[in-house]
Amino acid sequence: MNRKKIYKIFIFFILIFFQSIIICSSENLKYPLKIKIIDKIESNYITPENTLFSLRSALLKDNIEWADETMTEESLKEMILMFEKSGIDREKSLINLEKNIKESYILDQMIYKDVVILLVEALAHSGSIKYIPVTFMKEHGLWKVTNKYKQDEEIHELFHYVPPLFYGKGGRPMDVNTFLGYEKPTEPQTILEGGDKNYVVHVYYGRTIDPSTFTAELNRENVSNLFSPEAFTDEEVEIPLQRGRNTLVLSVEGTRNDGKKASDTDRLVFIVP
């Protein structure tokens, strides 16, 4: 056997070994799974998760050609045509959108018709959170991103947006702090303007909370009946206040990213002059 053949065999086995390390098997994955950043040489499309790693990595590395490889041929043509008609720079737009994301996680995988959906949680630098269903189908034996069912209501229902919120004061891990978040108030203590006796709290309930564990106390009195907690929803609740210092304590249990139970308790103070 000549040296060239030996070299080719050596390279072949090195590549097989290398891929065995980096390839993620969907069957063995545990969610939530952080979307890791990889180099082009590590990319493969053997699982939907690996394809998503490649897509995010390509955009963060300003490599639109690599990003295009992660899409089905039909979806890529459709997207290019859409940007051309709108007059928007496709490369700049897609790259800037991805760079606005601080970190992202795959929360779950589900089957829909003939595609696989990965539900992605994207945490933006601004503090907002987007929940995005990314759909995949096999093309030439490889998993690629597809827009095949972009008009389906079932897909639209999986999109969710949470604006930048105040998550209470404390050192709890982020996956616990997000059990309860607030668009109003935006700080632990709020001083009302003269004459105001009520305050509208805008509360967001986390994706994994157990509504049956929710409690609310206002000045040590149970006011849980004012609230209607449901996972992945938000509501505005008018709180009756008295002159002076008022303390509202909200608490709920939920499931952390590691699957364990935890509780989130927030203390909100309202001063009525």
Residues of the chain with CATH 3.10.450.50: 22-162
Nearest Cα to 205, choosing from 242, 174, 184, 233?
233
3-30 per-residue burial string, b: 16 or more CB within 10 A, e: under 16: eeeeeeeeeeeeeeeeeeebebeeeeee
Q: What angle do helix axes 90-99 and 73-86 make, rounded to 10 degrees?
A: 100
CA angle 245, 247, 249 (to 5 degrees): 175
The predicted model scores a pTM of 0.80
Taking 70 as the threshold, does the pLDDT of residue 172 lie above it? no
Indicate the residue type of 128. S
Q: What is the pLDDT of residues 245-270, one digit of tens each?
A: 999 999 999 998 888 899 999 999 99
Both tokens assigned to 18: 């290398």
Number of H helices, E strands in the chain: 7, 14
User: Quick check: helix, strand or coil at residue 224?
Assistant: helix
* pLDDT given at position 36: 94
- Prior bond to 32 cis, omega within 30? yes
Nearest to 121 by CA among 174, 54, 182: 174
b/e per residue 209-220 (b: at least 16 CB within 10 A):
beeeebbbebee
- Over the stretch 179-231, which tens digit does the pLDDT of each residue have? 999 999 999 999 998 777 899 999 999 999 999 999 999 999 999 999 999 99
Range(s) for CATH 2.60.40 in the chain? 174-272
CATH code, 174-272: 2.60.40
Q: Return the CATH number of 22-162, one of 3.40.50.170, 3.10.450.50, 3.90.1170.30, 3.30.720.210.
A: 3.10.450.50
Separation CA 255–CA 240 (nearest Å)? 31
Is pLDDT above 50 for 16?
no
DSSP state of 92: H
Q: Which of 220, 218, 205, 196 is nearest to 252 (CA)?
A: 205
Helix, strand, coil percentages (3-state) for the chain, rounded to 5, are: 30, 40, 35
Residue 22 pLDDT? 42
Cα end-to-end distance, the chain, whole Å: 92
The pLDDT tens digits of the residues spanning 105-141 come to 999 999 999 999 999 999 999 999 999 999 999 999 9
Extended beta strands in 57-114, E state: 101-112
Residue with tokens 């308790």: 265
On the question of a cis peptide bond just before residue 211, with omega within 30 degrees of 0, the verdict is no
CA distances from 248 to 168, 238, 266, 267 (A): 12, 12, 8, 6
